[in-house]
Every structure is written in structure tokens, then in C-alpha cells.
């Protein structure tokens, strides 16, 4: 049993884990065996993060939008396709007028890994609202197309993004980051040292998934 498993077991014994009657955790929506809530150390991040996720993401086994939201106590998580008339999002856009960015690989995006204007942009982004779209590339394109209130937001992107560490979900390209990895990278870039807490939860959940896959592969072969 590794350190994370020990911590999880101990916290579960202390009743940190909350379950619904059907055996799913109220918070992370995972079955009891896969609940990761005891690993969370939520904090208020700078910049503030908004995750807009496609409704189909809910069906997937490994979604990191919710995980990201649970790691950041001042973040927002909204589901939908067309956000043009989304009341809360529009209130936030008004509150953060001229201080909202969307993370998206657009031709006119400011590249976060370009050192030239680094400091000026770091200050600008760290006091802003950063919007991320969570879904397949196809769904994300549709969400952006239909959400007219997002069209005029300045974009941020990674020209040379770090390689995704996710091993259980097939990414279209290895440089396509999950929502959690992308958020952690933005936070790290903006000088938020606690970005590591997101990575810790993520790595632990990925390690669990890999372990689970190995075990089920073994048991299937033993049965055969």
C-alpha cells in the first residue's frame, strides 16, 4: 500500500467520505472505491477559473473538469453547449470586464510559453478570470461557435504545451492536455505555487485507474 492509499484509507475511516444511497460520492460523483475527495486540498486560486463542460462529458469515466473545480474553491463549473444567455456566466463576464481570457489555441492567442512579454502578462492574467472549455475537440468547437458571449474574449494558449500525463483516456494527440493539466499549467505560469495540489490529485487518480485496469486484466485472464 503506497502513501496515497494509506492516506485515503485513514481519511475514509474518519468518515470524510460522503456517499449517496446508491454508493456514489455526492461530491466527485465517483463510486465509493474510486472517490478521491480525501485527496483534495481546495484553495482559492489566482486567476479565477471557469470551466464550461459539454453535457456529454458527464458520461465519461475520466473527466477532469469536476476534479479541477473541486480543487479550486473559488472556481465555477457550468454545463451546456450554448452559453450566450447563461446568467451566472454573463454576470462574471461583467464583473471581470476587460479581465477575462479564454484558453484556446487560436492564431491570435497570447502564448504562455513565450517569454517576451512574460511579466506584464503574468500580472494581467493572475488577477483575471480564465475560461476553459471541457469536451472533445469537436464539441469544444461547437460550444465556442454557439456561445456568442465568448467570441470577443482574448485568448491564451500554449505554443509548446507540456505532454499530457494521462494514461487511461486516449487523447487525440499526446500534447492535448486535460482540463486539469491545462488549469495547473496556467496557474503555474501565473505564479500560483499551489498548482501542485491539482497535479497530486490527478496523478493519484491516474495511478489508481492504471492499477485497476491491470487488476481487471489479470482477473479476466485468470478466469479464461
Enumerate binding residues for Zn ion (CB under 5 A).
25, 27-28, 35, 37
Count Cβ atoms within 10 A of the Cβ of residue 47 and give its class: 0-12 exposed, 13-18 middle, 19 or more buried: buried
Coil, strand, or helix at residue 141? Answer: helix
Cβ proximity to Zn ion: between 28 and 177 the closer is 28
Residue 53 Cβ vs Zn ion, minimum distance, rounded to whole Å: 18
Residue 166 Cβ vs Zn ion, minimum distance, rounded to whole Å: 19
Residue 42 Cβ vs Zn ion, minimum distance, rounded to whole Å: 13
| Max Cα–Cα distance, the chain, nearest Å | 61
Count Cβ atoms within 10 A of the Cβ of residue 179 and give its class: 0-12 exposed, 13-18 middle, 19 or more buried: buried
User: Which residue has the closest beta carbon to Zn ion?
Assistant: 25
Residue 14 Cβ vs Zn ion, minimum distance, rounded to whole Å: 14
What is the spatial distance between Cα 144 and Cα 164, in angstroms, rounded to a whole number?
A: 23
What secondary structure letter does DSSP report for 27?
A: T
Cβ proximity to Zn ion: between 26 and 163 the closer is 26
Cβ proximity to Zn ion: between 31 and 191 the closer is 31
Among residues 162, 140, 207, the alpha carbon closest in space to that of 2 is found at 207
C-alpha cell belonging to residue 199:
497535479
Cβ proximity to Zn ion: between 28 and 125 the closer is 28
Residue 90 Cβ vs Zn ion, minimum distance, rounded to whole Å: 31
Q: For residues 67 and 35, is the Cβ–Cβ distance under 8 A?
A: no
Coil, strand, or helix at residue 200? Answer: helix
Cβ proximity to Zn ion: between 52 and 67 the closer is 67
C-alpha cell belonging to residue 33:
472505491
Amino acid at each position: 500500500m503506497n502513501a496515497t492509499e494509506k492516506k485515503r484509507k485513514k481519511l475514509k475511516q474518519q468518515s470524510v467520505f460522503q456517499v449517496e444511497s446508491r454508493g456514489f460520492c455526492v461530491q466527485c460523483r465517483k463510486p465509493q472505491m474510486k472517490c478521491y475527495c480525501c485527496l483534495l486540498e481546495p484553495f482559492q486560486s489566482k486567476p479565477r477559473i471557469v470551466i464550461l463542460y459539454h453535457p456529454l462529458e458527464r458520461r465519461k469515466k475520466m473527466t477532469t473538469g469536476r476534479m479541477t473545480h473541486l480543487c479550486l474553491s473559488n472556481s465555477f463549473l457550468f454545463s451546456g453547449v450554448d452559453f450566450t444567455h447563461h446568467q451566472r456566466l454573463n454576470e462574471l463576464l461583467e464583473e471581470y470586464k476587460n479581465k477575462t481570457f479564454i484558453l484556446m489555441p487560436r492564431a491570435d492567442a497570447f502564448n504562455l510559453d513565450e517569454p517576451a512579454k512574460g511579466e506584464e502578462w503574468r500580472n494581467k492574467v493572475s488577477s483575471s478570470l480564465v475560461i476553459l472549455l471541457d469536451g472533445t475537440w469537436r464539441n469544444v468547437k461547437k460550444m465556442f461557435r454557439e456561445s456568442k458571449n465568448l467570441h470577443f474574449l482574448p485568448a491564451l494558449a500554449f505554443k509548446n504545451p507540456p505532454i499530457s500525463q494521462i494514461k487511461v483516456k486516449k487523447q487525440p494527440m499526446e500534447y492535448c492536455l486535460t482540463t486539469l493539466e491545462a488549469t495547473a499549467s496556467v496557474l503555474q505560469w501565473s505564479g500560483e505555487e499551489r498548482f501542485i495540489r491539482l497535479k497530486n490529485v490527478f496523478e493519484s487518480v491516474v495511478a489508481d485507474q492504471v492499477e485497476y485496469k491491470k487488476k481487471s486484466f489479470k482477473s479476466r485472464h485468470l478466469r479464461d
